[in-house]
Structure 1
Amino acid sequence: MIQLSLDGKRLYVTNSLFSPWDRQFYPEMVEKGSHMLQVDVDTERGGLEINPRFFVDFGAEPDGPSLAHEMRYPGGDCTSDIWL
């Protein structure tokens, strides 16, 4: 899944899409958990760069591995929050 911040400067990316599909096609990820990365978007000159300081490992969750799908942030940081 991908989610662009409202200002267009950060793209959040997970390697999980939909739990039933993940279970069918990526059973190892279900066992180990998914990840989330932040890609910085250069809105002035163009280009994308992975932010090396931002990495979320959902395999390290206290209640076991988790799968990250959509990202929603308090305050409406992402495009999916426009409807609020």
Structure 2
Amino acid sequence: MSNPTGYYVVLSNASNRMDGTPARGFSPLVIAPKSNVTLGGDASELGRSPVLTYVNDYGARLPLIFSCTDNSCAVDEAKSRKS
């Protein structure tokens, strides 16, 4: 997972669907600015449309819905905004 921003990112969940149970082995984590981390857990459980939940500055938990092809995933901004 890459954090290209100048802000800390708190991830509270990684699942294969909205409001799903966390992938086996995933633990909540903080990603430092301009850094990369390994999420942990079993990537195959996340499927081709993983949903990572982050905590914003106000404490709300918001979804980031990804779209994956081969070994690369990117945020689907349109789907993430609708959720």
What TM-score, normalized to structure 1? 0.29
Bigger strand share: 2
Instruction: Please say which structure displays the higher CA radius of gyration.
Output: 1
What TM-score, normalized to structure 2? 0.29
